[in-house]
Amino acid sequence: SEERSLNFIEEIVEADLASGKHKSILTRFPPEPNGYLHMGHAKSICLNFGLAKKYGGQTNLRFDDTNPVTEDTEYVDSIKEDVQWLGFNWANELYASDYFEQLYGFAVDLIKKGLAYVDDSTSEEIAAQKGTPTQPGVASVYRSRSIEENLELFADMRAGKYKDGEKVLRAKIDMASTNMLLRDPIIYRIKHAHHHRTGDAWCIYPMYDFAHGQSDSIENITHSICTLEFIPHRPMYDWCIENLGIFPSKQYEFARLNMTYTVMSKRKLLQLVNEGHVTAWDDPRMPTISAMRRRGFTPESIREFCDKIGVAKRENLIDFGLLEFCVREHLNKIAQRRMVVFDPLKVTISNYLNESETLSSENNPEDENGGNRAVPFTREIYIEREDFMEVAPKKYFRLAPGQMVRLKSAYIIKCDDFVKDAEGNITEVRCSYIPESKSGNDTSGINVKGTLHWVSAAHAIPVEIRLYDRLFTEENVGNAEGDFKDYINPNSLQVIAKAYAEPALAEATLADRFQFLRKGYFCLDKDSTANKLVFNRTVTLKDTWAK
């Protein structure tokens, strides 16, 4: 991609390297394994891994798995697959749960410094103590517990002496702080739950604000990049590092990615899956990385998109059409051209008396090494029903009585006649071909304006085609009134059960990218079987999102 100016995080990194504050940088991508990654995560991945790549540093993949209830190894596996597919390699695969012992030690250290206490208040009582931003909070009666008592109670919490919610550990900071998150935040809670990695070893779990920064610090992360919602968490991030005297990782915030006509929250995406609005996390209409992979988007185009949108400091809404533009640009360069007729109308070429012949068609005019493929031509072919009109308006350069068109990579044909059934539907078009007009060897001297895609009837393979539209009807679903599911587009999937594909498509693999002439970019779907191939439309040929 072309030269662009530095984003604000690159400026910070360059300054830190120039001043010698860091000799090299270490970033991390810290997903919680509670869902599949989406485009917002792709943005974060490209940013974190991209920075390291650009400045010769490294990036850790750290699973932020401190919440036992919502997490699962299925998600861990999908996240690893997605990061690799995007083209990035992590230096270390790490788990916040591997730090549970160390984090526990940090909590004990705070208690010993008089900076944390066990509180028996209920969560309602604690919320009430915190007060409102305009008024100072009220100290818990347990705030003055002795260090010895706190150490003993915290050890008992760990040992499983108490039930969920009976006690918490709170940091002792400032009940009058203007930052509500510093009003003695809870740093450990009791949760008797099975963890997907640590099993039943723990019944107390650290809160996000006590786990994240310390995990960064344990790994010597230099630049910890997160989204803007975490700005108010930064003082707590720094407070922990300072009071524990551990490696000073620094948090920087950028604007999360929001895109038009979709939602970008694992919680909402999970609802779409669980309530059957889509078939799975990788349903090609979803904004997840696995869905985009299945739909035929390429990692190159997603990286290009992330680079194009840049790194902002203020929330914004990015046009989904921009991602499609990037996909289209890349696919135009790499996609193999093929012909598929979606709504077939039979054409008989009356004066074609050969059994058949094999024509040659270029795989990709954008790629001089793309080669050619064999395309069989016979007396009976299919064209699109919409490419014939009984009574054609002016400037209709397709087939109509008396009109001529070129069949792609084949001959010029002329419509002589057509056949209708009892209901008046056109069932067949009869043409004659011009033998001297063969593509690449045309001596006919005839100029025609229209070129049609077509498939030999005897060689056509029936395939299923899935066309996708935006998942929501509302541009800014995140900000729309009411439930986001009220805005689901009921027509986001259109299935063409039986289209006719040229025989070369019988060899399609999941890795191939195609342009079906005049129809868009397509790829094989994983639902395909030997008897029935299914193709997804990745994106249309032109932008149809224009408002």
Place of tokens 């400032």: 174
261 is in an annotated binding site: no
**121: annotated binding-site residue?**
no
Residue 271 binds ligand ATP (CB under 6 A)? no
Q: Judged by CB under 5 A, which stretch of 29-37, 104-112, 191-199, 356-364 contacts Mg ion?
A: 29-37
Shortest distance, position 213 Cβ to ligand ATP, whole Å: 13
- Whole-number minimum distance, CB 208 to Mg ion, in Å? 8
Would you say 277 or 430 has its CB closer to ligand ATP?
A: 277
DSSP state, residue 255? P
List the single partner that 257 binds among Mg ion, ligand ATP, none, CB under 5 to 8 Å by kind: ligand ATP
Count residues near ligand ATP (CB under 6 A).
16
Residues 6+ apart with CB under 8 A from 238: 213, 251
Residue 367 in marked binding region: no
Asked whether residue 259 is marked as a ligand-binding residue, the answer is no
Q: Greatest CA separation found in the chain?
A: 102
Give the separation between CA 258 and CA 204, rounded to whole angstroms.
Answer: 35
Determine which one of 256, 430, 485, 518 is catalytic: 256
Q: How many residues bind Mg ion (CB under 5 A)?
A: 1
Which long-range CB contacts under 8 A does 16-22 form with residues at least 24 apart? 16/222, 16/223, 17/55, 22/222
367 belongs to the binding site for Mg ion (CB under 5 A): no
**114 burial class (0-12, 13-18, 19+ CB within 10 angstroms)?**
exposed
Question: Has 256 been annotated as catalytic?
Answer: yes
Among 10, 12, 16, 32, binds Mg ion (CB under 5 A): 32
* 33 labelled binding-site residue: yes
- Tell whether residue 30 is a contact of ligand ATP (CB under 6 A): yes
Contacts of 475 (CB under 8 A, 6+ apart): 260, 261, 317
40 binding ligand ATP? (CB under 6 A): yes
Quick check: is 74 catalytic? no
Residue 256 annotated in ligand binding: yes
130 and 178 Cβ atoms separated by less than 8 Å: no
> By the 8 A CB rule, do 168 and 190 touch?
yes
In whole angstroms, the minimum distance from the beta carbon of 257 to ligand ATP comes to 4
* Binding at 40: pick from Mg ion, ligand ATP, none (beta carbon under 5-8 Å per type): ligand ATP
Alpha-carbon distance 295 to 333, whole Å?
Answer: 18
Tokens 């002792």 locate to: 172
Provide the 10 A C-beta neighbour count for residue 459.
18
Selected from 43, 195, 212, 233, the binder of ligand ATP by CB under 6 A is 43
Q: Which of 130, 172, 234, 266 is catalytic?
A: 266
**Of ligand ATP, Mg ion, none, which one does residue 234 interact with (CB within 5 to 8 Å by kind)?**
none
d(CA 313, CA 397): 51
Phi, psi of 468 (to 5 degrees): -115, 145
267 or 498: whose CB is closer to ligand ATP?
A: 267
Nearer to ligand ATP, 41 or 183 (CB): 41
Using CB atoms within 10 Å of the CB of residue 285, give its burial: 0 to 12 exposed, 13 to 18 middle, 19+ buried: buried
Nearest to 44 by CA among 14, 9, 18, 75: 9
Q: How far is the CB of 268 from ligand ATP (least distance, A)?
A: 8
**DSSP helix, strand, coil percent of the chain (3-state; round to 5):** 30, 25, 45
- 226 touches which of Mg ion, ligand ATP, none (CB within 5 to 8 A by kind)? ligand ATP
For the bound state, the minimum distance from the C-beta of residue 314 to Mg ion, rounded and expressed in Å, comes to 19
Per the CB < 8 A criterion, the answer to whether 357 and 441 are in contact is no
- Smallest gap from Cβ 191 to ligand ATP, in A, equals 18
Contact stretch for Mg ion (CB under 5 A) within 27-35, 47-55, 79-87, 487-495:
27-35
- 54 classed as catalytic: no
Tell me how many degrees the CA angle 508-510-511 measures, rounded to the nearest 5. 95
Residue type, 267: R
Counting contacts by CB under 6 A, is residue 264 touching ligand ATP?
A: yes
What is the per-residue burial (b if ≥16 Cβ within 10 Å, else e) of 240-279? bbebbebeebbbbbbbbbbbbbbbbbbebbeebbeeebbe
* Rounded Cα–Cα distance for residues 335 and 343 (Å): 23
Cβ at position 32, least distance to Mg ion in Å: 4
30 versus 213: smaller Cβ distance to ligand ATP: 30
Q: Give the x-and-dash track for 218-237 against ligand ATP (CB under 6 A).
A: --------xx----------
Q: Which stretch binds ligand ATP (CB under 6 A): 16-24, 40-48, 138-146, 195-203?
A: 40-48
| In contact, 375 and 504? CB cutoff 8 Å | yes
Q: Which stretch binds ligand ATP (CB under 6 A): 30-38, 193-201, 321-329, 516-524?
A: 30-38
487 annotated to a ligand binding site? no
Q: Please pick, from the candidates 7, 26, 27, 31, the single residue that binds ligand ATP as defined by CB under 6 A.
A: 31
* C-alpha to C-alpha distances, 57 to 4, 27, 53, 365, nearest whole angstrom: 20, 8, 6, 40
Name the residue number minimizing CB distance to ligand ATP: 40
Q: Which of 25, 26, 27, 44 is close enough to bind ligand ATP by CB under 6 A?
A: 44
67 known member of a binding site: no
d(C-alpha 84, C-alpha 101), whole Å: 30
Query: Closest CB to Mg ion among 207 and 524?
Result: 207
34 assigned ligand-binding residue: yes
Q: Which of 336, 89, 85, 94 is nearest to 214 (CA)?
A: 94
Binding residues: 32-34, 64, 208, 227, 256-257, 264-266
Q: Which residues bind ligand ATP (CB under 6 A)?
A: 30-32, 40-41, 43-44, 64, 226-227, 256-257, 264-267
Q: Which residues bind Mg ion (CB under 5 A)?
A: 32
Active-site residue set: 32, 256, 266
